[in-house]
Structures are given as structure tokens and as C-alpha cells.
Structure 1
Amino acid sequence: MPVALEVYDESTTGDRGEPIVLEFLTEEITIRELIRERVYQEVQDFNLKMAQQPVFRGLVQPTDAEQTLNGYKLKTARAIDWQRQFDMAIQAFEQSRILVLVNDRQAETLEERVTIAPGTTVSFLKLVPLVGG
């Protein structure tokens, strides 16, 4: 029986977005599996509803898209490749541009294990580089 986990996007100000519900086949997963499932689900959802929802609300910005207030708008309407998005998300995690917080503790590696239990909280925090000089 699949195990459900709610994950959230958070900002550095503490604002929390709507929950994203992910399902896993086991109660123990790695951070890599968590990121993979999240990216796969959000890309699948976008590709199915592309005509009604032209803005992609995802973990990382797709190639050939511009950032908008509520996500990323593709310059040309097209399906998004989940594997490419996953690769970019992994790279962002490895470069500390995306932090994964599990029960308010920062995950350090992609192979770190997470046990999904009642009350488990997972947040994704996107860090934005400062602009200036």
C-alpha cells in the first residue's frame, strides 16, 4: 500500500505554499527518491494540463522559460521532460541552491534516508542569489 507524504515549498521569510502530496511504495526513501518523485509528479501534472495551465509551478526552472510571479512561463508551449528537470533539481541540490528540510533538519546528501511516519514534515527551500555589486 502506498505511503503518502506532504511536502511544502517554503521561502526564507517562512511563508509556506500549498502542500504537494507524494506517494511512495515504502516508508523509507532517500532524498534522491524524494526529489525524483516530486519532479516527476509536477511535470506529469503540467504536461496533462498544459493547455489550461500555461505556467509551470515546479522545483526548478525549465530551459527556455522565464520566471513569473507564480512559476515559470514557457516561451513556446511544449511538454516538459521530467528527466531533464530531475537532473537540474539534483544539480541545484548539490550546489545548495535548493535545501531539503526534513523535520526542520537540513538534508546533507542525496543518499540520506528519510522514514515517512505520521508527523514527518518535508520542506523545499529555494535559495536565490543576491544581486548587486
Structure 2
Amino acid sequence: MPLITVTDEVVGAPSRPAWTVEILEEEVRLDELIRRRVFLEIAESGVDADPEERTRTTLDAFGRNAFVVLVDDRQVTALDEKVRLHAGSRVTFLKLVPLVGG
């Protein structure tokens, strides 16, 4: 199965470790990709959390522009947009930091 790389980044902060994830399909909607990312984080962390509630919170944060999603350096802007993935794709969840005083 093809492998993709998923990373979390915060503007101005050191990069965090990346995950390598197997994918089964070539196209997936952004909201589904975010849901999978949330489930992966919960499974990896061992935290007792409701993944569906965490997904709703994360999707809401995306709607408020708290973070952007880049797939192979292309920003995906709509939750219903289909994202094309291939072996070696890099998916970056980039958290935005508001300007001080603005």
C-alpha cells in the first residue's frame, strides 16, 4: 500500500516528528483526511478522548482558519474538496499564529 507522510507544524516553532501512514485510496475528501489525522493522533497518544468530538472541534478550528492543510505544498481550502494522494505525498497541518496586537 502507498505510504504518505503527515506532519504538524506551527509557524515559528521547530518541526515536530512526522507520521508515515498507509493509504488505501488515491482521492479522499479533506474532512475525511482531517478525521483520520485526529484518530491517528488519539491512537498514538494513548489519551482517553472521544475521537468524534475531537474531530468536530478540529473541523470547526479549520473553519475558523486556526490551521491550514497543505498537500504536496498545495493549500486545500474546502472541507469537501477531494485531495489526490500518491505514494510519497506529504500532508502538512500548519497551525497559524495570530500577529501580536492584530
TM-score (ref. length: structure 2): 0.83
1:9 aligns with 2:18: no
Q: Which runs of 5+ in 1 are unaligned?
A: 51-78
- The alignment covers a number of residue pairs equal to 102
Contact 1:5–1:21, Cα closer than 8 Å, also in 2: yes
CA distance in 1, matches of 2:45, 2:97: 24
TM-score (ref. length: structure 1): 0.66
Identity %: 37
For the pair shown, the structure with the greater C-alpha radius of gyration is: 1
Contact 1:3–1:116, Cα closer than 8 Å, also in 2: no
Q: Which runs of 4+ in 1 moved over 6 A?
A: none
Q: Counterpart in 2 of 1:87?
A: 56
Q: Which has the higher contact order (CA 8 A, sep 6+)?
A: 2
CA distance in 1, matches of 2:88, 2:41: 23
Q: Which runs of 5+ in 2 are unaligned?
A: none
TM-superposition CA deviations, 1:76-101 (whole Å, max 9, x none): xxx11111110111001111101001
Structure richer in helix, relative to its length: 2
